[in-house]
Amino acid sequence: MAMDRFILPVVYRHLRHLEPFSLPAEQLALMKYQVMALYRHDLNVIANLAEIHEQLLLPLEIPYVTFKGPSLAVCYYDEPAMRFSRDIDILVPRERMAELLARALAAGYKPLVPHDLGNDSVSLAFVARYQKVITLLSPRDIVIEFHSQIDNIGTVYDTRALIDRAEPTRVGSAEVSVLPTDELFVYICWHHTKHFWSHLHWLVDLDAIQRHPSFDRQRAYSCAERHGLSSTVEVCVKMAELLGSPEFVPHDNHDERLNGLLKLSLEAMQGDLLFEHHLSSLKATPDYAFHWQTDLRHRLRWKLLGWLRRFRPSYAEYRVRPLPSGWQWLYCFLRPLLACRRRLINHNSD
């Protein structure tokens, strides 16, 4: 379970110091072997981030910011190896995405999502325009997610404003661009709440950032207010304080927002991806897990923009009927026809 929840290094460190009689020596040795494999993976991730900066982003002079994962571990953990990083997340301006993808594919990166991404200017321009996250596999076998937007409809975060706030910090052999502490703290409160805090190492992130000398709670609250995330951050801070208390008793407080978050978080930590998808069906909007995080204006805006997103073509539809850039507006009308075609094919195959 510790491996599945991405906290095996933390668990192993505590067990090694505690040396409980109930834990067989061979089990501890197996954990050490698994932890060393995670350490090697994390070193590989850090090296890959430096290569992306030096080989892809810097030569093209593309402004960016990397968040979560290796940069978070290096900046805020006393022992960065304690924080497992599955992949690398990088936010870039949408208008620079196509040339970044072209350079990455030429350097040996392979497409994962979409898996059949064509290495031609029209295909790259299409996916950069219509898909907010493109996932590649690096030559080091590390998953890289290039984002042009980190929320669903752009009402929570402005990409250019986030990139403009980036700060340089050394990660591995390179000076990479990262979010300032207040911005990162607000982001993880929003992002992890959106996913119901389903990974235990996310709680360690919350603690690690608050313990760091650069953390200032008032600056974090001011940042949250700018993004309309004051309630989210306030409840996450309360959750961290409650979970860090030796007298922690679930649901024994007067804040119903906190009770609801704790209940679903504890359930999500014990569930699997399928259960998290079930919880997602209960969310207020795709960007907010709870109604108290947002207001009626945002929910109405999501209903409108979410409805309009139905007309946004997918890369799979582009591959079925590739159109030049100047004619891609036709996909808005072709989508229903292509959907009917897919249903007819599926019906005939049944």
Helix axes 121-130, 97-106, angle to 10 degrees: 130
Threshold 0.85, pTM exceeds: yes
Q: Is 45 exposed, middle or buried (0-12, 13-18, 19+ CB in 10 A)?
A: buried
Helix axes 256-270, 230-243, angle to 10 degrees: 70
Contact between 186 and 220 (Cβ < 8 Å) = yes
CB 77: neighbour CB atoms within 10 A? Answer: 17
Give the right CATH number for 1-179 from 3.30.460, 3.40.50, 1.10.287, 1.10.405: 3.30.460
Q: Is the dihedral of CA 33, 49, 208, 282 positive or negative?
A: negative
The domain locations on the chain are 1-179, 184-296, 313-350
Pick from 167, 179, 159: which is nearest to 96 by CA?
159
Separation CA 161–CA 83 (nearest Å): 28
Contact between 317 and 334 (Cβ < 8 Å) = yes
pLDDT by residue for the chain (350 residues), tens only, comes to 444 556 777 777 767 777 777 778 888 888 888 888 888 989 999 999 999 999 999 999 999 999 988 999 999 998 887 888 889 999 999 999 999 999 999 999 999 999 999 999 999 999 999 999 999 999 999 999 999 999 988 889 999 999 999 999 999 889 999 999 999 999 999 999 999 998 888 888 999 999 999 999 999 999 999 999 999 999 999 999 988 877 776 666 788 999 999 999 888 887 677 887 788 888 888 899 999 998 888 788 877 776 667 778 889 888 888 888 888 888 877 776 766 766 666 655 55
